[in-house]
Amino acid sequence: MERIERGIGPIILLGPPGAGKGTQAQRIAERYGIPQISTGDILREHVQRGTDLGAQAKDIMARGELVPDELIYGMVASRLRHADCERGFVLDGFPRTPAQAGWLDAFLEHEFFENQHREQCLPIVIRIDVDYNQLLRRLTGRRSCPTCGRIYNIYSQPPQVPEVCDDDSSRLVIRNDDREEVIRERLNAYELQTKPVAEYYDSKRRLVSVNGDLPVDKVTAQIMRVIEDHRADAANLS
């Protein structure tokens, strides 16, 4: 994929678990040469390393509930302060509550916009919409590579050899919270706590939706178009 070197600012991907945020975030990150920041991945790393934060988050995540905002803020702030975020970054899985969205706006205002043109750096907020039955199928079919993080789906994007990563031959794993009873809880948390985040951005006229029921490359094409349109508008404003 062609890589684009100009600055891009924050990109936020919204959508229910299983909408394809991780896959699309990886593609955006690769195309624009910016980091993908997934709060779910960072939390899973903490759980694996057995940090204090990991110990506090572990059982909550296993139940499919949201980790309290106060635990998330410090973690996100320290990640966004890394030098690799200066040109922009793509957030996947954050913000997950309207309070987190408000926190992010304040953080960007105070820390990110300091040395940048504000209009060029307002977040691009993209929601990936997917039919509920498709979501269940995607979540139950999801597999990931524990070594490189690549995501597969046994129905729609299977690896060449079943259960083995194409890139590094690691045995693929099923996420702990991709079991059916936990999946329902995660979708509930989305309906109750995360859906209002889209309303938050919509009320600020910053939300764009794409059709996530289409094949993965078509979803990517829609997202890239949204990003490029936004950049063209920002360039005209400056």
Is residue 125 within 8 Å of 9, Cβ to Cβ? no
Task: Tell me whether residue 186 is one of the annotated catalytic residues.
Answer: yes
Span from 24-32, 35-43, 136-144, 229-237 in contact with ligand AMP (CB under 6 A):
35-43
Exactly one of 44, 79, 127, 186 is catalytic; name it: 186
Is residue 201 within 8 Å of 105, Cβ to Cβ? no
Assess 125 for contact with ligand AMP (CB under 6 A): no
Exactly one of 175, 179, 195, 206 is catalytic; name it: 175
How large is the C-alpha radius of gyration of the chain? 17
Task: Tell me whether residue 175 is one of the annotated catalytic residues.
Answer: yes
Assess 40 for contact with ligand AMP (CB under 6 A): yes
Assess 144 for contact with ligand AMP (CB under 6 A): no
Whose CA is closest to 124, among 7, 9, 236? Answer: 9
Assess 20 for contact with ligand AMP (CB under 6 A): no
Task: Tell me whether residue 195 is one of the annotated catalytic residues.
Answer: no
Cα 51 to its chain centre, rounded Å, is 23
Which residues are within 8 A (CB) of 132 and not within 5 positions of it... i.e. 6 or more apart? 187
Minimum CB distance to ligand AMP, residue 2 (Å): 28
Minimum CB distance to ligand AMP, residue 97 (Å): 7
Q: 9, 64, 88, 212: which one contacts ligand AMP (CB under 6 A)?
A: 64
Q: 15, 20, 35, 93: which one contacts ligand AMP (CB under 6 A)?
A: 93
Span from 37-45, 127-135, 211-219, 221-229 in contact with ligand AMP (CB under 6 A):
37-45
Residue that is written with structure tokens 């759980």 in the block: 47
The neighbour count for residue 29, using CB atoms within 10 Å, is 18
Cα end-to-end span (Å), the chain: 28
Give the dihedral sign, CA 192/193/198/201: positive
Minimum CB distance to ligand AMP, residue 204 (Å): 19
Overall residue count recorded for the chain in this entry? 238
Structure-token pair, residue 10: 């924050």
Contact residues for ligand AMP, defined by CB under 6 A: 17, 39-40, 43, 60-61, 64-67, 72, 93-94, 96, 100, 177, 186
